[in-house]
Structure 1
Amino acid sequence: KALEGVGDLTAYALVMAFLRGDFRNSDAFVAFLGMDVHVRDSGTKTGKRKLTKKGDSEARRLLCCAAMAARRSKRWAGVYQAYLDRGLATTQALVILARKLVRIAFALMKNGTDYQPAPAS
């Protein structure tokens, strides 16, 4: 819960999802939640990229809400703005931020450590 933007419900959803499987790395956990990107490329054709949405939809909703809350914090405001400055849409930037939060939460749960935020840049 010390992670910026993550409240009680989101923390419970992440812990319950973490306990449902034995994940080798954070990529597997992100994929389990359905927040991994499905790429549709073929030869020289570059297709759409979209979320697979294979996991729990409520957990994804909570994580997007957590990303919206985290983008207002000093720690994540610059990261969010950097994605917007690169030309990404607000939804794309929020999904990237949500995926970052998932990876941090996975590392905390896997290692059993407390969150030590880096200084805001």
Structure 2
Amino acid sequence: EGIGFLTAVALVTAFIRGEFRSSDAYIAFLGMDLKVADSGQKSGRRRLTKRGCSEVRRLLHNAAMAASKSAAWKELYEYYRSKGKATTQVLVILARKLARVAFALMKTQGEYISRRT
């Protein structure tokens, strides 16, 4: 749910471009990993590194918006919203989860089976 043809092609193309040991490495390649600005007792802002292709991040953001309305992901979306997260923060969380699911499917050559119908 949420990932369409263009997003799937972009994710597969990104997957083919590198050798990734884990989903964390794949997320970092896409530029969706967090940059932490902590020092001593100061807890700074967390931001996306945005090192990867901006088009893939845009497609994942759009996929997260679509997924947030689907039965499979709506509960997770509402959970994070109820915790006080901003809409954009929750969409980034969903986009990262979608990318991790896609990575797992590509790594194992598996097929996606929806939890809900």
2: CA distance, partners of 1:119 / 1:76: 9
Match of 2:57 in 1: 60
Match of 1:5 in 2: 2
Q: Secondary structure at the match of 1:65?
A: helix
How many Å apart are 1:116 and its aligned residue?
1.5
Task: Structure 2: state its 5+ residue gaps.
Answer: none
2: CA distance, partners of 1:31 / 1:116: 26
Percent identical residues: 61
Please say if 1:40 is aligned against 2:29. Answer: no
**Pairing 1:72-83 to 2, within 5 Å after superposition:** 72-83=69-80
Match of 2:92 in 1: 95
2: CA distance, partners of 1:117 / 1:32: 26
Task: Structure 1: state its 5+ residue gaps.
Answer: none
The amino acid that maps onto 1:70 is A
Deviations along 1:39-59, one digit per CA (max 9) or x if unpaired, are 000000010100000000000
2: CA distance, partners of 1:74 / 1:39: 33
**Pairing 1:97-116 to 2, within 5 Å after superposition:** 97-116=94-113
Please say if 1:117 is aligned against 2:114. Answer: yes
111-120 or 71-80, which deviates more: 111-120
How many Å apart are 1:106 and its aligned residue?
0.1
Q: Secondary structure at the match of 1:77?
A: helix
The amino acid that maps onto 1:49 is R
TM-score (norm 2): 0.98
1: CA distance, partners of 2:18 / 2:55: 17
Aligned-CA RMSD value:
0.9
The amino acid that maps onto 1:72 is K
1: CA distance, partners of 2:9 / 2:105: 14
Divergent runs of 4+, >3 A = none
Match of 2:68 in 1: 71
Partner of residue 47 from structure 2, selected from 50, 53, 62: 50
